[in-house]
Structure 1
Amino acid sequence: MGENVASNNSSYHHHHHHYNLHQVFDISLDVPPHNPSKCFDDDGRLKRTGNFWTASAHIITAVIGSGVLSLAWAIGQLGWIAGPAAMFLFSFVIYYTSTLLADCYRSGDPVNGKRNYTYMDAVRANLGGFKVKTCGLIQYLNLFGVAIGYTIAASISMMAIKRSNCFHESGRKNPCHISSNPYMIAFGIAEILFSQIPDFDQIWWLSIVAAVMSFTYSTIGLALGIVQVIANGSFQGSLTGISIGVVTETQKIWRSFQALGNIAFAYSYSLILIEIQDTIKSPPSESKTMKKATVFSIAVTTTFYMLCGCAGYAAFGDLAPGNLLTGFGFYNPFWLLDIANAAVVIHLVGAYQVYCQPLFAFIEKWASKTWPDGEFISKEIEIPLPSGYKPYKLNLFRLVWRTAFVIVTTIISMLLPFFNDVVGILGAFGFWPLTVYFPVEMYIAQKKIPKWSTRWLCLQMLCYACLVVSVAAAAGSIAGVVQDLKVYKPFKTTY
């Protein structure tokens, strides 16, 4: 299993980046080590050409995704003091563990040590064995969860377009109640079609489209928030967040925890850090460039998040909607909201595939290893396409398994269509193991930090503190699901 995880992992991208050239041009030439020619590196892979700016661009576009939509709500639960403070703390922890992770890119010697091309390779090189399997399992579960989260987010954006046009036509007299299910099914059908395209996550323009879309909707959200604040003539919101009375005391606690999960989700990108680092040329050592790029990108992202989150909270106060663009705080200009929501949908259709392709590849490899002679699994049926195109290779197992996967994620989304709860669970689940635990463990192993030394104790304390935060965020989000299910009846309720 371990091997599979690693090989796929090279197509493991947090949001939508195809950095790994070596996967596209699967190259393994016998180039003697440390005799880099003009086109190849010391290990026979294509020369890396990345630098501080390309790495920063990759990180920024990978981090800024649909997570930004829940930030105003998260600050609304925590208030003007704790909200921004929590965002600063997360950005600091993620910056710190990213520097630890950057040091694990090369095993042994930081300049000439063996390169690890993916997060899993680094885990295998530094920790090995059981931990590699655990790490793989967590990653694949995380991907499965993201597929559900993206289905929910895309469908609420489609509904918002439909509702905003309906409000507009009826002059806001019609409440326009609609069910989310048809939209989820439509999204599912689109994903079933896309999932059959081979190497969909390797299409170069996909990253560019995704980056443009995420900046489009984030900026529109920010602009609308600022305009609303000016229209109100004052900042809404309170120092301590949503007041007890609007919510009960226990709800307030759970929702504050859930807000932490939402913030963690917005920041998570450590999964692809090593892959981005693998695009950087050396000398200077990749980890030096990467650390500079990390400081810069996290500063840019945090500034942007603070602006978006705070503008949204200042505009709506305690009533800040769970998803800034679909909560109907903004009604006009309705065409601008439609553009923003359409951008969310386009972004998520592609991002869903980028997330799911590594999982698809992993299961398919495992199946062909387990049943090497199965006709169903290995047989490729060639379907001729119009002249000029290569024939399409249809594989029945791939057709059935990928379709089944999309159907399952769609059904779960229809049963639990709660954006903030699901985002909170995902944030909590990905944050501790992948952003804190593995980087800290790998760093301790790599640098052979002695047990009970001051450095070791500090790292362990950081690790346990983050574990507590993750557990609290997960508990708060699960409590949120339970709360929402009391009101929502699957397949019956309309919004």
Structure 2
Amino acid sequence: MAALSPNSTVKATTVVKESEVLDPPKQLDAGALFVLKSRGSWLHCGYHLSTSIVAPSLLSLPYALALLGWVAGVLCLILLGLVTFYSYNLLSMVLDHHAQLGQRQLRFRDVARDILGPRWGKYAVGPLQIGICYAAVIAGALLGGQSLKFIYLLSVPNGTMKLYQFIIIFGVLLLILAQIPSFHSLRHINLVSLTLCLAYSAGVTVGSVYIGYSKNGDTRDYSVNGSAENRVFGAVNAVSIIATTYACGIIPEIQATIAPPVQGKMFKGLCVCYAVIASTFFSVAISGYWAFGNHALESSTIISNLMGKEKPLLPTWFLLIINVFTLLQTAAVTVVYLQPTNEVLEKKFADPKMDQFSIRNVVPRIILRSLSVIVATAFAAMLPFFGDIMAIMGAFGFIPLDFIFPMVVYNVTFKPSKRGLVFWGNTLIAVVSGVLSAIGAIASVRQTVLDAKEYRLFANI
């Protein structure tokens, strides 16, 4: 190997310095700098992914299976699990590719802007992602309030407190947790969250099996009832619910928390996440539907079925543990889905040239994050229809963002052969998902309108 002369070394150094002056590294805005700190490992990525996907929304899976029946329900669970794992890996590969080119994309809107054009990032993908993530915060506040109400009724069976009061109490907890400065700061909370979801899923499964073999269990009917029209709309609604349960509208933001180099780390994190999914989604969905059959449709979450109509179907202490675990994990999940909103607020109102914990940045952060939580809590108290919120989120947001967008940006970025399986497989998934999204939007809005006729604002359900 030839040695470099001193003069050539000086020239090379000069060229590097000149290139740095002509093309300086892009400065991070306050949102990326403060909220999306890139300091985590692939294991931390696994914690974040598990919390964002394996959430209390999985407790609505028996409800979805009751709308589909055994065969279609289980097949849908398997198929959507495989498609989302494939989809998230495609999106991760796109992010890895651009990171190697020196253009690391930290947000969904960055991916859309760089690959599809600035208008896609600014007017379509960006607002869509913020909207569904904020809807997830509203749904989290509602589910947290429901868990608090269950705990209250277990202690005071004839209590008079209303659901909206518990949602407000849970909102106070969110006000505190929302002040955690960055996504990376949540890694330890999300490790606890992962443990909690495994614990309450196991509890729900054991409880459902116990009820299924108990004399207290209802007579089970697994047929899909109703008119042909209602069965079709119900099936589409169920697909939207399952898609939302698997959905994660913050894949780029989670990958942004990984310390460079990022190559291959997201795949390891996804493997951790889907190991947790396999042990929770299927156990809760199958055991819950098996234990209650069509009665799973009487409530949007299986915990309500476990509570019984007149008295609890399980020991009070057991139900109390399940609800406490669900409550705590709901808080963690809700804070995770606050991060895109936090990032936007920091970008607009924080000063990246000053310290993150300076008064200049701390005061706006506290005020704006608090307002964000207060508004979400108010919506959750007014519209307590958790199953409907899940379906609407899936149809309007998560299906386009998690099932269609990754296929499109992968094909545009890597340009696979149009004669190959990858191109047509991605195209097929995108087209079928687009059709399901359109039909699901109609079905979910229809169901919400039907429920709105039965319930009033601030309903105590």
Q: When the two structures are superposed, what TM-score results if normalisation uses the length of structure 1?
A: 0.75
Say whether 1:476 aligns with 2:443.
yes
Describe how 1:72-471 pairs up with structure 2 within 5 A.
72-107=62-97, 112-114=100-102, 116=104, 118-120=106-108, 121-133=110-122, 134-167=124-157, 178-196=161-179, 198-199=181-182, 202-231=185-214, 237-238=220-221, 240-241=223-224, 243-244=225-226, 249-269=228-248, 271-272=250-251, 275-276=254-255, 279=258, 286-287=263-264, 290-291=266-267, 294=270, 297-298=273-274, 301-320=277-296, 321-327=299-305, 328-329=307-308, 330-367=312-349, 397-449=364-416, 456-471=423-438
Write out per-residue CA displacement over residues 222-276 of structure 1, whole angstroms, 9 at most, x where no aligned residue: 11112122225999755543x22xxx55443333222112111211136326734
Give the superposition deviation at 1:477: 2.2
> Taking structure 1 as reference, are residues 235 and 453 closer, same or farther at Cα in structure 2, changes over 3 Å only?
farther
Alignment-mate amino acid for residue 263 of structure 1: I
Describe how 1:49-88 pairs up with structure 2 within 5 A.
50=42, 59-88=49-78
In structure 1, distance between residues paired with 2:180 and 2:44:
28
Give the superposition deviation at 1:115: 6.1
Alignment-mate amino acid for residue 190 of structure 2: S
Give the superposition deviation at 1:326: 2.9
SS at match of 1:118: coil
Alignment-mate amino acid for residue 79 of structure 1: G
> Taking structure 1 as reference, are residues 209 and 293 closer, same or farther at Cα in structure 2, changes over 3 Å only?
closer
Give the superposition deviation at 1:75: 0.6
Instruction: Among all aligned residue pairs of Structure 1 and Structure 2, give the percentage whose two residues are the same amino acid.
Output: 23
In structure 2, distance between residues paired with 1:201 and 1:56:
12
In 2, are the aligned partners of 1:81 and 1:240 still within 8 Å (CA)? no
SS at match of 2:456: coil
Give the superposition deviation at 1:183: 0.7
Q: What is the aligned partner in structure 2 of residue 494 from structure 1?
A: 460
* RMSD value, Cα: 3.7
Write out per-residue CA displacement over residues 77-109 of structure 1, whole angstroms, 9 at most, x where no aligned residue: 11111111111121121122223223212336x
Q: What is the aligned partner in structure 2 of residue 26 from structure 1?
A: none
Aligned residues: 427
In 1, are the aligned partners of 2:32 and 2:343 still within 8 Å (CA)? no
Gaps of 5+ in 1: 13-19, 24-47, 168-173, 373-377, 381-389
Q: When the two structures are superposed, what TM-score results if normalisation uses the length of structure 2?
A: 0.79
Gaps of 5+ in 2: 1-25
SS at match of 1:269: coil
Say whether 1:8 aligns with 2:31.
yes
In structure 1, distance between residues paired with 2:254 and 2:177:
24
> Taking structure 1 as reference, are residues 215 and 117 closer, same or farther at Cα in structure 2, changes over 3 Å only?
farther
Q: What is the aligned partner in structure 1 of residue 17 from structure 2?
A: none
In 2, are the aligned partners of 1:5 and 1:362 still within 8 Å (CA)? no
